[in-house]
Structure 1
């Protein structure tokens, strides 16, 4: 919703101010289809050249983050802590019983209680791979933490590709606007024998290209790139929480302490309160009794 409000504000302020200053939309609207074809088409072409099909699909999908915001909300962080609590407690009580859950999470009744997390393949893989490694005696906390850090860094670089791709397009749009404007000037010079009122319109149409390139770069595509990057970084906190809890578990801290470590490493705007989490964990204990 905020993204839509921001876009509306940009258009109202820019074009509203132009009209209030006495500007006329006629020349802009007349030149807009041609300038947009040149600038927008060239930007799309450059985007296609610099990305493969997977990156293109990923970027188009991530544009929705501008309007939807981060995938993981307050309740999801609480559910993740509850899921990790159940798994860690079971692994300590019955190391054999945990295997069926981490080997086939899609069939696990524990994971089934958290369907949104179960749908996220990376979160499930991160949990299962780490717990499986611990069951195979690969349980040095420092080594596991280093491995998880490298894995998440690689995932982060992949996830941030959409933001980088959009920013590259934004950086190129002003130059493409100049290209369109130069073509407009060439067209104007071919009509140099026309009266001033005709030349004025031609020059005005050419300048629409410069305006459009700068406007799209700094008013739309650049902010889109920044927002996608911010949301992506926010979403990575979910996986960082998994790392913190599982590494704390390898240090053989009490289960409640492991979960508290995760709670305190949760971003403040998504962090469940201590009492809220205690109530959720108490409900899990009662259901298991």
Structure 2
């Protein structure tokens, strides 16, 4: 919703200000300039970007129209899941969760949390971490270091779509200049043989190319890239929460304390209060 509102405000402000001084909207419509700028930017993007990243960028852009993947209630569910697993490990031993992590879709614990079960990224991260704890005989420092490397790789991959879109935003003003230069070349070729009015129209058309390149870069493509980057950082919090809880548990903290460490990592808008989370954990324990 906010994405659509922002886009409308941008175009209304620019075109509204243009019309307030007597500008006519049709003078900004030059299909040849749009083809040059957008076509060249798209072609350069295809050259520079792997198909996997292009697909993720399209999915990420459309995903901005939806809410974040994890809301406050989803983080509570994630913390409850980790708490239940840690409780079972503490009560029955680490081997007690082996069947749960090997077949999470058949696990009575995981089945309580369908959204997490449906997100294969976070599900794989949880089960892989627990496998290391169950069978890896690792100390807390070794596990934390390994998970840091994995999170760094995950964050780098998650930011690739936003970075690729930002490169398009950086290139658009340049392609706008290309379109303007082509328009000036076309204009200079008729100087002396065309009336001043026609020459003026062609110069205006050339300048529209510069306008469109800058307008698209700073009004739309750049902000979309920034929004995608922020969304990727927000969604990465779920992985950091899991890492913190499991490392704290391996250091010997009780499950409730390990979950509290993880809760502290959440941003304030999605972080449940201590009292609310404690009540949820008691309900899960019961």
Q: TM-score range by the shorter chain?
A: over 0.9
Residue 67 of structure 1 and its aligned partner are, at CA, apart by: 2.4
Residue 182, structure 1, aligned to residue 185, structure 2:
no
1:40-61 CA distance string (max 9 Å, x none)? 0111100100112111111111
Q: Which residue of the partner structure matches residue 271 of structure 1?
A: 271
For structure 2, the residue ranges without an aligned partner over 5 or more in a row are none
Q: What SS is found at the alignment partner of 1:22?
A: coil
Correspondent of 1:91 among 86, 89, 92: 89
Structure-2 residue corresponding to 1:164: 163
How far does residue 109 in structure 1 lie from its aligned partner after superposition? Answer: 1.6
Moved more, 169-178 or 277-286: 277-286
Q: CA deviation digits over 1:190-221, x for unaligned, max 9? A: 22121111111111011110000000111110
Quick one: distance in 2 between partners of 1:205 and 1:86? Answer: 65
Give the aligned partner of residue 132 of structure 1.
Answer: 131
Partner of 1:109: 108
Shift of 1:20: 0.3
1:51 corresponds to which of 49, 52, 71: 49
- Computed over aligned residues only, the root mean square deviation of the Cα atoms, in angstroms, reads 1.2
Deviations 1:215-237 (A, max 9, x none): 01111101111110011111111
1:37 maps to 35
TM-score (norm 2): 0.96
More moved, 82-91 vs 119-128:
119-128
Cα deviation for residue 97 of structure 1 reads 2.6
TM-score w.r.t. the length of structure 1 is 0.95
Count of equivalent residues: 284
Cα distance in 1 between the residues matched to 2:10 and 2:45: 24
Work out whether 1:20 is the aligned partner of 2:20: yes
Please point out which of 64, 67, 84 is paired with 2:65: 67
Matches of 1:256 and 1:78 in 2, distance apart? 13
CA distance in 2, matches of 1:48, 1:69: 28
Q: Is the 8 A contact 1:180 1:206 kept in 2?
A: yes
**Is 2:257 aligned against 1:261?**
no
Q: CA deviation at 1:5?
A: 0.5
Rate the CA distance shift 1:194–1:85 in 2: closer, same or farther, 3 A.
same
Shift of residue 65, structure 1, vs aligned partner: 3.5
Q: CA deviation at 1:122?
A: 2.1
1:69 Cα deviation after fit: 4.2
Shift of 1:71: 1.3
Unaligned runs of 5+ in 1: none
Asked if 2 retains the 8 angstrom alpha-carbon contact of 1:69 and 1:231, the reply is no
Cα distance, 1:189 vs structure 2: 1.5
2:151 maps to what in 1?
152
Equivalent residue number for residue 76 of structure 1: 74
CA distance in 1, matches of 2:139, 2:219: 49
